[in-house]
Amino acid sequence: MKSEFFKYQAQTTAFASGFEVEKAEGSYIYGKDGRAYLDFVAGVSANTLGHSHPKVIQAIKEQADKYLHVMVYGEYAQEKPVAVCKLLAEATPAPLEVTYLVNSGAEAIDGALKLAKRYTGREEIIAFKDAYHGNTHGALSVAGNEAHKREFRPLLPMVNFIEFNNREDFAQITEKTACVIVETIQGAAGFIMPEGDYFQQLKKRCEEVGALLILDEIQPGFGRTGKLFAFEHYGIVPDILVMGKGMGGGVPVGAFMSSKEIMSSLSHSPKLGHITTFGGNALIAASSYATISEVLESNLMAEALEKEKLFRSLLVDPKIKNINGKGLMLAVDLGTPEYCLQVAARCMEKGLIVFWQLYKNNYMRITPPLTISPEEIEKGCRIIIDTLNEI
């Protein structure tokens, strides 16, 4: 299979591992080599409840027995998509109320940008240096890493970039700004956290000039930082909330959420301001509903902060410079990209899956399922520390 993978399935790196997967369950992925691999990456923060969570699998099977796809987005009232949107409305503060379901995080970002331009009638966008929002042309236009975008220009015009945590840059947010788009925790840059009341001041500036604040919670969302959404730690509410990854329980999904008033601007002048065939698909929504309701009903959010403490107490070594992030969204600074890649490769040989951050390869990513047990955390951290001592 591996040779066919490299022959027929497109890769965009020269170093894909081609790891052959047999099955996955809980915190483990089982290889075709017969070995169990402890997963500290969780599909890059997507497997909130681990692999093949029984509630999620059951929900998918029940929906598959009824029907899969019946109509393009937003035409028919279907039980599971409606239930997901209602659950999100109940679990988030006002004025967040209505949700547009799409197929991926990047599509949700594109939808949010369109919504902000349409509602405000403005053209300028403020985005952040080192930001990552996905890989469609729209999402790439607001990404703050030149090396990843240079060859794909022209991208969206009128996007200006400011520095995360630098309040002097607020002056660039003006009456011409349609929206400010920002990750609640900067992911690809190494899980960089907002400092002090930075987000409150950012929101205040947006309000002063009538710009909408779009928060990208595609990675921290759904309990990973100890709250359903990370913005709840910072005493603000965005005008548009973007989510994806962990809301699906392992199926492809994204969404953007806003007030009824803002969202309704996509339904006229022109009508069908955003359309998608499969967004809000019943099968995906069944999986999402099972995932989100389990996160809300269980103790997983509170446990995420306890598990962070355990990780931080175990990952102590002179080769670890720093650990960024919050909850189960941790980036371990190993000094250089070369060393980090070497450590990740050796950990894999020893049965532990870790990864690195997209822009800052010196950071080792630790984003396990929220359901990971303390024993599994201890086992994985022991492998990391042994590896650091070894190489």
Ligand X SMILES: Cc1ncc(COP(=O)(O)O)c(C=O)c1O
Residues that bind ligand X (CB under 6 A): 44, 104-106, 109, 132-134, 183, 187, 216, 218-219, 244, 254
CB of 44 to ligand X, least distance (A): 6
Residue nearest to ligand X according to CB distances in the complex: 105
Least distance in Å: CB of 355 to ligand X?
A: 11
Measured between alpha carbons, how far is 23 from 298 in angstroms, rounded to an integer? 25
Task: CB nearer to ligand X: give 36 or 155.
Answer: 155
Q: How far is the CB of 379 from ligand X (least distance, A)?
A: 26
**Between 106 and 372, CB nearer to ligand X:** 106
Comparison of 109 and 370: residue with beta carbon closer to ligand X: 109
Q: Which is nearer to ligand X, 162 or 388 (CB)?
A: 162
Furthest-apart CA atoms within the chain: distance in Å:
63
SS (HEC) of the chain: CHHHHHHHCCCCCCCCCCCCEEEEEECEEEECCCCEEEECCHHHHCCCCCECCHHHHHHHHHHHHHCCCCCCCCCCCCHHHHHHHHHHHHHCCCCCCEEEEECCHHHHHHHHHHHHHHHHCCCEEEEECCCCCCCCHHHHHCCCCHHHHHHHCCCCCCEEEECCCCHHHHHHCCCCEEEEEEECCECCCCCECCCCCHHHHHHHHHHHHCCEEEEECCCCCCCCCCCCCHHHHCCCCCCEEEECHHHCCCCCCEEEEECHHHHHHHHCCCCCCCCCCCCCCHHHHHHHHHHHHHHHHCCHHHHHHHHHHHHHHHCCCCCCCEEEEECCEEEEECCCHHHHHHHHHHHHHCCEECEECCCCCCEEEECCCCCCCHHHHHHHHHHHHHHHHHC
Closer residue to ligand X (CB): 84 or 106: 106
Cα distance between residue 248 and residue 345, in whole Å: 28
Using the minimum distance from each CB to ligand X, give the nearer residue, 106 or 381: 106
Nearest approach, Cβ of 90 to ligand X (angstroms)?
24
Q: What minimum distance in Å lies between the beta carbon of 10 and ligand X?
A: 16
Minimum CB separation of residue 290 from ligand X in Å reads 19
Q: Which is nearer to ligand X, 143 or 286 (CB)?
A: 143
Q: How far is the CB of 135 from ligand X (least distance, A)?
A: 6
Tokens (6 digits) for 170: 């607020």
Question: Which of 185, 384 has the CB closer to ligand X?
Answer: 185
Instruction: Give me the least distance between CB of 42 and ligand X, in Å please.
Output: 12
Nearest CB to ligand X, comparing residues 107 and 308: 107
Question: HSE on the CB side for 312, CA within 13 Å?
Answer: 15
Query: What span, in angstroms and rounded, lies between the C-alpha atoms of 230 and 235?
Result: 10
Query: Closest distance between ligand X and the C-beta of residue 109, in Å?
Result: 6
